[in-house]
Amino acid sequence: MALLNFRRKETVAPSGANAAVEAFLEGYSIEVMPRTAEKVEDFRDLLPKGTRVYIAHIDGTPIEEMVTTAKRLNAEGFPVMPHFPARIIKDKATLADWIARYQGEADVKQALLLGGGIDTPHGDFHCSMQLMETGLFDGFDRLHVAGHPEGNKDIDPDGSDKNVMDALRWKQAFKERTDAKMAMATQFCFDAKPVIKWVDRLKAEGIDLPVHIGVAGPAKLQTLIKFAIACGVGPSLKVLQKRAMDVTKLLLPYEPTEVVAALAAHKAENPGFGIESVHFFPLGGIKTNATWAIENGGASAAPAAQS
């Protein structure tokens, strides 16, 4: 199987910013679903060795499909981080069963805990804090939680971020009283300014959970707008709406070049800035996203993938 051979672009970021972007993309993670993973013949042809791969658990997806995907990715050498959406988990026994399957069949040691995108819980859980309190994740190497740079109307219907911030303070305290390695994986955004403001506010509030900032990979503009509205993306949606009004750009695929370059430049100028990593949502396809990352300074798939 031939390795993908991409030619790196020389004008992706503003002059002098390429090194910053390359550093910013180092160690990025990416998200897949079982049905999208099935379309990839071998992830080793696309992703750098050791890339963390999240597996999104959409309501209605059988746990068997999730575990099968995790097992396959683990066998190909990638650290796997499945989602555990609280609202689709019936009870503690179900949670224990899922964890046992992941650990026993796919050697899963990492998890993303989140509330889940449904209005009515299927059972006993409605938030990630309840999952953490079960103690069933004791022994995991790493736990990530969800972050919302532009707010979350499911948690704060009034448009404030009071409940979101209270939850983050609770998770900060959990981190401090346990030995859990934790971070926040955020919803995707399209504008660097609200992200920078939010990360700075976290620091001011004493919340030092590292941020793995969500970035939407290259995709058709219509696709991104659809996902952005469905996911409740806030102020930065205006970036897409403005682009949609420009007929010269309407039919061109969106690429996250500008937002990544802006965040990378800010990180380079402020080394203590709380973003630790980039987390990609490959809304236009995994191969397309991997290609963009390589062309913009990210590591390429390693030759060892063919061994």
pLDDT attached to residue 301: 78
Residue 177 located in a structural domain: yes
**Predicted local distance difference test score (pLDDT) of residue 241:** 63
Closest CA to 116 of 152, 88, 141, 140: 88
pLDDT computed for residue 5 by the predictor: 36
CA distance linking residue 253 with residue 133, whole number of Å: 43
Structural domain for 232, as ranges: 18-295
What was the pLDDT predicted at 171? Answer: 95
pLDDT computed for residue 37 by the predictor? 97
pLDDT of residue 6: 34
146: helix, strand or coil? strand
Give a yes or no: residue 97 inside a domain: yes
- Tell me if 9 is assigned to some domain: no
CATH at residue 53: 3.20.20.220
Q: Is residue 108 part of a domain?
A: yes
Over residues 193-226, the pLDDT tens digits come to 999 999 999 999 999 999 999 999 998 877 777 7
Q: What pLDDT score does 111 carry?
A: 98
Residue 11 lies in a domain: no
Count of helices and strands (H, E) across the chain: 11, 8
What is the per-residue pLDDT for 229? 61
Q: What is the count of structural domains for the chain?
A: 1
The neighbour count for residue 279, using CB atoms within 10 Å, is 25
Instruction: State residue 80's pLDDT score.
Output: 98
Residue 3 domain-assigned? no
- How is residue 307 annotated by DSSP? -
Residue at 124 is within a domain: yes
pLDDT at 165: 87
> Residue 235: inside a domain, yes or no?
yes
Instruction: Please tell me the predicted confidence (pLDDT) of residue 297.
Output: 86
- Alpha-carbon distance of 141 to 118, in angstroms, equals 28
| Rg over CA atoms, the chain | 19
List phi, psi (to 5°) of 72: -65, -45
* Angular region, 148: left φ>0, alpha ψ -120 to 50, beta rest: beta
Residues in the chain predicted with pLDDT less than 70, given as ranges, are 1-17, 151-160, 227-252, 302-307
Residue 304 exposed, middle or buried by CB count within 10 Å (0-12, 13-18, 19+): exposed
